[in-house]
Amino acid sequence: METEDFSAEIQISATPNSVYRVIANEIDKWWTTSTTQADKVGDLLVTRFEKTTCWKMQVMRAVPDQKLGWKVVEAHHDVEEISAKDEWKDTSMEWSIRETGAGSALTFVHRGLVPSLECYKICNAGWSYFLQSLKEYLETGKGHPHVTSR
């Protein structure tokens, strides 16, 4: 069984402070427009895609300008092709930021999001898209978040 977690590293022309702030408090500008903010350990981050897909994540780590860690405590991935709707439950997301000469290097790891999961292909493509959206938002002021219809 394969156990390789999804991970990506991107270079961003922005300060570590800006990268941290946007990941923690401007999620609606790059991931999904239906979200809360979460920047302190213990905070609950709730993200929604449409009316039925929802992930609730607790902030487990928050080191300003350096690291954020979220643990998925509740998950419902309502995609027709996926029968296991709660595959993200008990997975975690780690954001590590380091300063570079040209801005910041962001390393993202979604621990537990592995190729053996039913949602892996969709989630891999989704994270790749939304990490690019994050980069574009930080560099141009325009991200491409999912817009949840109300």
Q: What is the CA radius of gyration of the chain?
A: 15
Q: What number is the average pLDDT over the span 138-144?
A: 98
**Which pLDDT tens digit goes with each residue over 75-92?**
999 888 889 999 999 999
Task: Spell out the domain ranges in the chain.
Answer: 6-140
Among 30-39, 49-58, 62-71, top mean pLDDT goes to: 62-71
Distance CA 19, CA 17 (A): 6
Identity of residue 90: D
Residue that wins the pLDDT comparison between 3 and 36: 36
List the one residue out of 31, 2, 32, 4 whose CA is nearest residue 109. Answer: 4
- CATH architecture for segment(s) 6-140: 2-Layer Sandwich (3.30)
| Banded model confidence at residue 51, pLDDT cuts 50, 70, 90 | confident
Distance CA 127, CA 36 (A): 19
Q: Does the structure show a pLDDT above 50 at 13?
A: yes
Distance CA 32, CA 17 (A): 21
Contact 113, 96 (CB under 8 A): no
User: Does this model's pTM top 0.85?
Assistant: yes
Residue that wins the pLDDT comparison between 3 and 38: 38
| Banded model confidence at residue 2, pLDDT cuts 50, 70, 90 | very low
